[in-house]
């Protein structure tokens, strides 16, 4: 069985729809996936039970790769180009020796 770290964000109760809603983030292999989840439940449902339902829904979506999600990849530092370091003295010597650019 595969285990992933799951994080609940912005859990709210939508009284019009009578459901708990949250953005659930699943951290898996250095990447983060966010799912918008909602479970139908009365307002008297305990937070622990609502969290369990939201977590289960996000886990099912993640394993099934279905539904809408956003993926956040971890970015590493960009690789520097393989060019030499800028040398201002060498650049000035090159500019001085350019033909036709002498002052009168």
**Strands across the sheet containing 31-40:** 5-14, 19-28, 31-40, 70-73
For 101, residues 6+ apart whose C-beta sits below 8 A from its C-beta are: 95
For residue 2, the model assigns a pLDDT of 62
pLDDT digits (tens, 9 = 90+) for 90-100: 888 888 888 87
pLDDT digits (tens, 9 = 90+) for 27-86: 888 888 888 899 999 999 999 999 999 999 988 888 876 666 676 666 666 666 666 778
Q: Where are the domains of the chain?
A: 5-73
For residue 78, the model assigns a pLDDT of 65
CA distance 15 to 24: 20
Does pTM top 0.75 for this prediction?
no
Q: Does residue 20 surpass a pLDDT of 90?
A: yes
């Amino acid at each position: 069985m595969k285990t992933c770290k799951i994080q609940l964000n912005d859990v709210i109760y939508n009284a019009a729809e009578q459901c708990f809603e949250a953005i659930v983030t699943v951290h898996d292999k250095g990447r983060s996936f966010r799912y918008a989840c909602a479970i139908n439940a009365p307002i008297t449902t305990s937070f622990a039970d609502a969290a369990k339902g939201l977590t289960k829904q996000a886990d099912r979506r993640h394993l099934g790769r279905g539904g809408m999600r956003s993926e956040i990849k971890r970015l590493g530092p960009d690789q520097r180009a393989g060019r030499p370091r800028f040398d201002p003295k060498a650049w000035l010597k090159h500019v001085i020796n350019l033909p036709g650019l002498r002052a009168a």
